[in-house]
């Protein structure tokens, strides 16, 4: 799995706790209009093309969850200012996870963004020893135990918005288009491409 430095994990863990608190507060006041942005559904549309098979994943996840379906999906996108950034730039790390609790379909991503809110690096190979580049996607399709992990390729972000829960952490929304090579546990190569949309959460202010 993608390598992640302990200090980055710590920042993102703190951010996640604050995002849960913000969401919980909003759930307690579902009709409270505090001027926050309300986005559309979270969506993903991904294709992995191998030598002998093509794997497709897609979903549209209600945002906010529909009554009675709150536990169907778990979606999280949190950011933290990169603690290793010493040049004064507003670089950040975004950690994203999408999990289908019924089918165990999972998408996990770790992205380094610059102050222009674009990816600083392409996908990193898991075996690389570049401590600066931890960018990657890991995908487990429904009904499978195999995880497909990015090893190279490009990312294009748009509509990146942030809602701070502390001075350096918070939740994020964005659209990600990506294309590159992925491998399974047997090092079989798949051509991967897709679009992931993480929409703003109800009741939060984004910029």
- Mean pLDDT over 178-198 rounds to 96
- Domain carrying residue 150: 6-19+39-63+74-198
Burial of 3 (0-12, 13-18, 19+ CB in 10 A): middle
Query: Within a domain: residue 31?
Result: no
Between 179 and 34, the more confident residue is 179
Between 149 and 168, the more confident residue is 149
Query: Within a domain: residue 69?
Result: no
- Mean pLDDT over 156-166 rounds to 91
Count of structural domains within the chain: 1
The CB-side HSE value for 98 (13 A sphere, CA atoms) comes to: 27
Query: Within a domain: residue 14?
Result: yes
Cβ 155 vs Cβ 178: under 8 Å: yes
Q: Which residues contact 16 (CB under 8 A, 6 or more apart)?
A: 76, 78, 95
Query: Within a domain: residue 192?
Result: yes
- Mean pLDDT over 137-160 rounds to 95
pLDDT digits (tens, 9 = 90+) for 38-70: 668 999 999 999 999 999 999 999 998 887 776
What pLDDT shows up at residue 2?
A: 47
Query: Within a domain: residue 140?
Result: yes
**Cα separation, 193 vs 180, whole angstroms:** 6
Query: Within a domain: residue 156?
Result: yes
What pLDDT shows up at residue 5?
A: 39
What pLDDT shows up at residue 129?
A: 63
- SS3 of residue 202 by DSSP: coil
Query: Within a domain: residue 132?
Result: yes
Query: Within a domain: residue 29?
Result: no
pLDDT digits (tens, 9 = 90+) for 75-114: 999 998 865 555 556 789 999 999 998 899 999 999 999 9
pLDDT digits (tens, 9 = 90+) for 95-105: 999 999 889 99
Kindly report the average pLDDT of the chain as a whole number: 81
What pLDDT shows up at residue 130?
A: 64
What pLDDT shows up at residue 151?
A: 95
């Amino acid at each position: 799995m993608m390598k992640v430095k302990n200090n980055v994990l710590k920042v993102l863990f703190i951010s996640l706790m604050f995002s849960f608190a913000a969401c919980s507060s909003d759930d307690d006041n579902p009709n409270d209009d505090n001027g926050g942005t309300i986005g559309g559904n979270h969506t993903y549309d991904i294709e992995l093309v191998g030598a002998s098979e093509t794997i497709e994943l897609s979903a549209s996840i209600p945002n906010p969850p529909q009554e009675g379906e709150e536990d169907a999906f778990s979606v999280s996108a949190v950011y933290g200012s990169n603690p290793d950034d010493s040049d004064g730039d507003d670089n950040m790390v975004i950690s994203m996870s999408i999990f289908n609790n019924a089918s165990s379909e999972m998408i996990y991503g770790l992205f380094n963004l610059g102050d222009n809110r674009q990816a600083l690096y392409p996908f990193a190979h898991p075996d690389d020893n570049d401590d600066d580049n931890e960018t990657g996607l890991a995908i487990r399709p429904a009904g499978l135990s195999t995880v497909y992990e990015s090893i190279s390729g490009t990312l294009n972000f748009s509509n990146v918005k942030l809602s701070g829960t502390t001075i350096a952490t918070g939740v994020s929304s964005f659209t990600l288009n990506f294309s590159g090579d992925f491998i399974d546990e047997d090092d079989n190569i798949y051509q991967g491409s897709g679009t992931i949309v993480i929409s703003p959460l109800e009741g939060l202010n984004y910029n």
